[in-house]
Chain A
Amino acid sequence: MQALLNTGSTIDEGRLAKGGNKYSDEYTKECAVCWMCAEDFTSLGCPEKVSVTSRDGKHTIAVYSKVTEAMKSGQVFIPRSIWANIVVEPDTFSTGSPRYKGSPVFVEPTNEEVLSAEEVVLKLYMGGE
């Protein structure tokens, strides 16, 4: 399914990030989550986890799914975090600010493991050190 990705704060994301708990399970459960509406969730087959892929297909990340009335069909939301930023478009349109809001992404059901923030850095950014 193609969707527009929105990212932003949630209060618990803020609480955990500012409290220095980015490597906690609670942070992963709060932030490694893709919010979508019931209609999109059903069309994907009600998966527990989804993989979100950037438009250019270069980056993919597995996150939990969450159904909410806050979203409209064709739009997904991931709290701002390392998981969301894996698929945020790095183009800045000559402003310096990447497209944290409105990046097109592909969302599919997956069985892949959801990585913790530390695992994302070590496996995806530091080549498995």
Chain B
Amino acid sequence: MVHKNIICPVCGGSCDDVQIDLDTKNRTIDVQNACKMGNAKFQEVVSNHRLLKPTIRENGKVKEVSWDEALEMAADILVNARRPFFFLGSETSCEAQEVGLHIAEYLGGPADSNATICHGPTVMGIQESGMVGATAGQAKNRADMVVYWGVNALESMPRHMSKYGVFPRGYWTKRGRFDRTMVTVDPRVTPTAIASDLHLQLNPNSDYELLSALFTILNGREPHPSVEEITGIPISVMKQTVEMMKESNYVAIYVGLGVSSSYGKHRNIEIALNLVKELNNYTKCNIGALRGHCNVAGFNQLASYLYGYPFGLDFMKGYPRYNPGETTCVDLLREKDVDAAFVMSADLVNHIPADSAKYLAEIPMVCIDIAPCPTTTASDVVLPGVIDAMECDGTFYRLDNVPVYFEPFTDSPFPETKSNEDTLKQLFAKIKARKEA
């Protein structure tokens, strides 16, 4: 049966035009409009490596158990820990993340999400200087200059350029790509850089210096000549870039981990945001982050709305605290500051540095996932995941922080649970029963 306008649950693009044809008899799925990455995830609905049975590790051996046994053991691990850590990954709905946050509050542990190892510094930069933002539609209709800074959009959000950024015809950009100038700032010659009109191939870790120089030029001053050697970009090219920006009607800047993960971190973002504010004295300009994981923006929204902080929350004192570098995932694990972990819909072991990952593999860990991966290998309890936007409904926040409600086209393959939210609610009930016994 053909289903239209399905939301893709893979990256922050949350493409809402996917068409699928699911043949349950022959276990095949035909996917239209999604990119390679999106298509791969839709194939998970019928894949033969899908995790379908809960497992636990006992005396070093992994064995299949019933849902109830797995949930019991998960509850035991989390209740018996002195400081259980909750990593509420982004490849699931806000509804599931909300239950996870409440469990963390109830047990007094820290809670974090992919934001911390993704655009956490971007969020911190926004806290420092505020952000001139816009929805993806605004940028699509208005932007005649697009800057990808520290992001390889073609490979990290493959449809961004075709759906929102560069190619689509907008109200004031009727000729699509021909009405837009595209600039990429990246130390590597990426496919995105190749597709650009101008590529600023800066030296690694020199984003702050380049942004400062652009700021100086925008203010009518001459940057210090040493900036050419530090950034690897001639001052004449910097001047040309600033001129192009000033002459455009609307500049849309998209930042990626190249800015927020390099040396300088949130300070890079802070100065980029200040540059954007200043540019608005000459033209219209907005900035946005290309968020790699599907609902990573959702966790920031939800945690801020419920507890006042966007990520790295710690409920140890009975009220939420937020101190990046202390209450954030990589730091908590590196400093061995937690003694059990719950990881939902994120392959955390794969994505964090060795010191933190090794400790995570040592402590008791419960995870929810859909396919075998380093996190499931290192876990003591593995609960099979339900795929959001395919097998259950819920809410994601898109890269521009617009909430998107999604509906499923098939059912959860498990009679025991309807969604990850449902699994977490069952786990929470067991945790409460233990605590209140």
Binding site for B on A (CB under 8 A): 4, 6, 8-12, 14-23, 54, 58-59, 69-72, 75, 77, 80-82, 85-90, 92-102, 117-118, 120-122, 124-126, 129
Nearest B-chain residue to A94, judged by Cβ:
B325
The answer to whether A4 and B354 touch across the interface, beta carbons within 8 angstroms, is no
Question: Which positions in B face A, CB cutoff 8 Å?
Answer: 10-11, 36-41, 43-44, 47, 49-50, 60, 112, 116-118, 120-121, 124, 150, 152, 154-156, 158, 187-190, 201, 204-205, 257-258, 260-263, 265-266, 292, 311-312, 324-326, 328-331, 334, 347, 349-358, 361-362, 370-374, 377-378
Q: Does the CB pair B330–A19 fall under 8 Å?
A: no
Residues of A within 8 A of B158 (CB): 11, 14
What residues on B are CB-neighbors of A117 within 8 Å? 350, 373-374
Please, which residues of chain A bring their CB within 8 A of the CB of B262? Answer: 99, 101-102
| Known contacts A96-B325, A117-B350, then 19 further A-B pairs from the complex at CB < 8 Å, ordered by chain A residue | A4-B204, A6-B187, A8-B152, A14-B37, A19-B41, A58-B354, A72-B187, A72-B201, A82-B349, A82-B350, A92-B325, A92-B330, A95-B266, A96-B329, A96-B331, A100-B117, A101-B150, A118-B374, A125-B361
CB contact under 8 A between A9 and B155, given known A82-B349, A117-B350:
yes
Give the docked Cα–Cα distance between A123 and B260 (Å): 32
Chain B residues closer than 8 Å to A75, beta-carbon distance: 187-188, 204
B437: min CB distance to chain A, Å: 33
In the complex, residue of chain A having the shortest beta-carbon distance to the beta carbon of B269? A95
Q: CA separation between A4 and B371, bound complex, in Å? A: 33
Contact in complex: B117, A97 (CB < 8 Å)? yes
Are A70 and B190 interface neighbours, CB within 8 A? yes
A20 touches B44 (CB 8 A): yes
Q: Which residues of B contact A16 (CB under 8 A)?
A: 40
A9 interface neighbour in B152, B353, B362, B372, Cβ under 8 Å? B152
- A22 with B350: CB separation less than 8 A: yes
Q: What is the CB-to-nearest-CB distance from A35 to chain B, in angstroms, rounded to a whole number?
A: 8
Residue numbers in B under 8 Å from A96 (CB-CB):
112, 116-117, 120-121, 311-312, 324-325, 328-331
B205→A102 contact, CB < 8 A: yes
In the complex, what residues of A have CB within 8 A of residue B362's CB?
126
Pair A8/B354 contact, Cβ less than 8 Å: no
How far apart are the CA atoms of A101 and B60 in the complex, in Å? 36
A99 to B330, CA, bound (A): 11
CB distance from B348 to the nearest CB of A (A): 11
Among B189, B324, B347, B372, point to the contact of A95 (Cβ < 8 A).
Answer: B324
Q: Are B330 and A90 in contact (CB under 8 A)?
A: yes
Cβ A10 vs Cβ B155 within 8 A = yes
Q: Could you tell me if B354 and A70 are in contact, using CB atoms closer than 8 angstroms?
A: no
Q: What CA separation (Å) do A71 and B38 show in the bound complex? A: 28
B354–A124 touching, CB < 8 Å: yes
Complex Cα distance A22/B260, Å?
26
* Chain A residues positioned under 8 Å from B124 (CB to CB): 95
Query: Which of A72, A98, A129 meets B117, CB within 8 Å?
Result: A98
- Residues of B close to A19: CB separation below 8 A: 40-41, 43-44, 47
* A77 / chain B contacts, CB cutoff of 8 Å: 188
Distance in angstroms between the alpha carbons of A41 and B263 in the assembled complex = 26
How far, in Å, is B14 (CB) from chain A's closest CB?
Answer: 14
- Measured between C-beta atoms, what is the minimum distance from B173 to chain A in Å? 26
* Pairwise interchain contact B358-A124, C-beta atoms closer than 8 A: yes
B-side contacts of A58, CB under 8 Å: 354-355
Q: Is the CB of B373 within 8 A of A20?
A: yes
Which residue from A12, A70, A85 sits with its C-beta under 8 Å from B188?
A70
Given contacts A4-B205, A8-B257, A9-B152, contact A125 B116 (CB under 8 A): no
Among candidates A69, A100, A129, residue contacting B60 with C-beta atoms closer than 8 Å = A129
Minimum CB–CB distance from A53 to chain B (whole Å) comes to 12
Chain A, Cβ-Cβ closest to B256: A8
Partner of A125, one of B37, B60, B326, B357: B357
